[in-house]
Amino acid sequence: MSAQGLEIIDTAAHTTYEWLNELSERLDWSSKRSALRLLRATLHQIREHLLVDEMAQFSAQLPLLIKGMFIEGWVPNRTPSRARSADAFVRAIESELGKTDDYRGPEDIKYVFLLLNAHISRGEIEDVRASLPRGVRALWPAP
């Protein structure tokens, strides 16, 4: 039983920390705050390339708090993004990420994709990857 009787909030926080701890381990970064910013920035760029129905299906498999980050700032009439290059995708993530000492480039973005592969159904990952530009799909290892 939750101390406040709000198990859904406790569970959401716990699951978010599990994902964040796993990502931090994969990245081998010293800052979990930076790992969270990378996760958020990468999710935002994925979101920008999806049609509304696909975005809803993908977000349904995200933990509650991570889903909130995924949706945060979304402007439906600007999606899907017309930017189609992998370089533009990476630059947008790096711009949102900001200065992060541990960041090594696109190889770190790959760790976010591997985290998603580990927690989202294979079919949904394949659907999302198919919605992305070819260059971005090349960054995202197949599930």
Q: Could you state, in chain order, the average pLDDT of each consecutive group of 10 residues for the chain (143 residues)?
A: 72 93 95 96 95 94 95 84 88 93 94 98 97 94 94
Positive/negative CA dihedral, 23, 73, 104, 34 = negative
Please check whether residue 37 lies inside any domain of the structure: yes
Q: What is the pLDDT of residue 4?
A: 62
Please check whether residue 1 lies inside any domain of the structure: no
CA 64 – CA 135 distance, rounded (Å):
29
Q: What is the pLDDT of residue 24?
A: 96
Q: What is the pTM of this model?
A: 0.92
Please check whether residue 91 lies inside any domain of the structure: yes
Nearest to 110 by CA among 18, 19, 25, 27: 27
CA 4 – CA 22 distance, rounded (Å):
27
Q: What is the pLDDT of residue 80?
A: 79
- Number of domains, the chain: 1
Q: What is the pLDDT of residue 5?
A: 65
CATH (domain of 51): 1.10.490.110
Structural domain boundaries, residue 93: 7-139
